[in-house]
Amino acid sequence: MSVKNLKRQNLNKEVLPILLSGSQYCNIDRAFIYQFYFQTVVEKSPTPKKTYRNPIYLAKEYKKILDSGEVKNQAELAKIKDISMVRVTQILNLLNLDKSIINNLEKIGDPMDRKVISER
C-alpha cells in the first residue's frame, strides 16, 4: 500500500516517512522505510453562547409592529416571525399584566443568558 493511499485512509493522521539506507553490520545496500502515524487533534470551534429574549421586550416589539401597520394582523406577524399564532397571542397577552410586574420583568434585561421567564 502506498503512502498516498494511507494518507487517504487516515485523513486526520499525519504521515511522516523516514528513509534509512543500509545497516552498519551489513555491506549490502538496502533501503528501509519507516512510517510513523501521529494523531492530529482537530480543535472544534467554540459554540456561541445561547441567548434568550425577554418576553416583555418581545411583546412590546410585536405590539409596535402591529400598531405601525407593518402587518395586518397577528396571523401575518406569526408567519413573518416563523412562530405559531398561539405563541404570538401568548406573548402579546403579557402586556395585560399589572404595570408593576411588567416593570420588574423589564429589569431583568434583554437578552438574557438563561431562560428565566417564559410567555406561557
User: What's the pLDDT score for residue 27?
Assistant: 53
Range of the domain at 17: 3-39
User: What's the pLDDT score for residue 79?
Assistant: 92
34-89: pLDDT as tens digits: 666 777 777 787 888 778 888 888 999 999 999 998 889 889 999 998 989 999 99
Range of lowest pLDDT (4-8, 57-61, 77-81, 106-110):
4-8
pLDDT band, residue 5 (cuts 50/70/90): low
Peptide bond into 55 cis (omega under 30): no
Amino acid letter, 8 = R
User: What's the pLDDT score for residue 29?
Assistant: 53
pTM of the model: 0.56
User: Residue 7 pLDDT > 60, yes or no?
Assistant: no
For the four alpha carbons of 80, 85, 87 and 93, in that order, the dihedral sign comes to positive
Q: Are residues 63 and 32 in the same domain?
A: no
Amino acid letter, 58 = L
Q: Are residues 33 and 76 in the same domain?
A: no
Domain count, the chain: 2
For residues 48 and 23, give the distance between their C-alpha atoms in angstroms, rounded to a whole number: 56
What residues are paired with 15 via a beta bridge?
37
Kind of pairing between the strands at 13-23 and 26-39:
antiparallel
**Residue 99 included in any domain:** yes
* Terminal-residue alpha carbon distance, the chain: 63
**Residue 74 included in any domain:** yes
Cell of 97: 399584566
For residues 64 and 52, give the distance between their C-alpha atoms in angstroms, rounded to a whole number: 20
